[in-house]
Copies of this chain bind each other. A is one copy, B any other.
């Protein structure tokens, strides 16, 4: 149980259960690279809003795909976001309900996000986003049309203000509860993958490529 900080600014310093905090940048990057979906929080005139968004890390930058934040952007200015990525690793089954928990890894990145305007840079970032979800996919598809790149909103933010929380291991029960005959342990969870379903209009001679058949997280 530990937490991670890239730069422990006041607002990303973990207050609750700080023994679960971890402060190294490699740990933060690893969680961001394994996660699939980010939950992105922003402040609107109606209050807080959280939207699931596709994201990817590239070096010290985090990129977000989608127009959800677009109406918050103002000319030349960015939008203040909180990007949270969570991976559930298991259910922690304890002898009392109070000590039930989840094994998980999560990262919170805070900062101002700006739209990527340059078309060739945006095209590159769209490839980075695609490779985050399905490594190997970019090489298997046609190049972007320029209108596709221009019609897509990509946001960039720095990962310099980030923290992570991790819980691992068995339940921690009250000492007297270890005498109970209640099953306790961990039920591991992960992303399960089914059989690929070909598009109804796909020609039957086109085989499933390895980057799909072997996709694993």
Q: Which residues of A contact B (CB under 8 A)?
A: 10-11, 15-16, 36-37, 39-44, 46-52, 54, 67-68, 71, 80-84, 86, 88, 90-91, 93-98, 100, 102, 104, 106, 108, 110, 126-127, 130, 133-134, 137-138, 140-142, 144-145, 148, 152, 170-171, 177-178, 180-203, 206-209, 212, 215
Q: Is A189 in contact with B193, judged by CB distance below 8 angstroms?
A: yes
**12 further interface pairs, Cβ-Cβ under 8 Å (given A39-B86, A187-B194):** A11-B44, A47-B82, A47-B110, A51-B108, A96-B145, A97-B127, A100-B134, A170-B197, A170-B200, A183-B202, A187-B197, A189-B191
29 A-B pairs in the complex with CB atoms less than 8 angstroms apart = A11-B47, A37-B104, A39-B50, A39-B86, A41-B41, A48-B48, A48-B82, A49-B110, A51-B108, A90-B197, A91-B215, A93-B212, A95-B142, A96-B145, A97-B127, A97-B130, A97-B141, A98-B126, A98-B144, A183-B208, A183-B212, A185-B199, A185-B212, A186-B196, A186-B199, A187-B193, A187-B196, A190-B194, A192-B193
Q: Is A50 in contact with B50, judged by CB distance below 8 angstroms?
A: yes
Identical copies in the complex: 2
Q: Is B52 in contact with A104, judged by CB distance below 8 angstroms?
A: yes
Q: Is B15 in contact with A142, judged by CB distance below 8 angstroms?
A: no
Q: Is A84 in contact with B51, judged by CB distance below 8 angstroms?
A: yes
* A212 proximity list for chain B (CB < 8 A): 93, 183, 185, 187
| A190 with B189, Cβ < 8 A, contacts A98-B144, A182-B140 known | no
Output the least CB separation between A139 and chain B (Å): 11
In the bound assembly, the distance between CA atoms of A140 and B181 in angstroms comes to 10
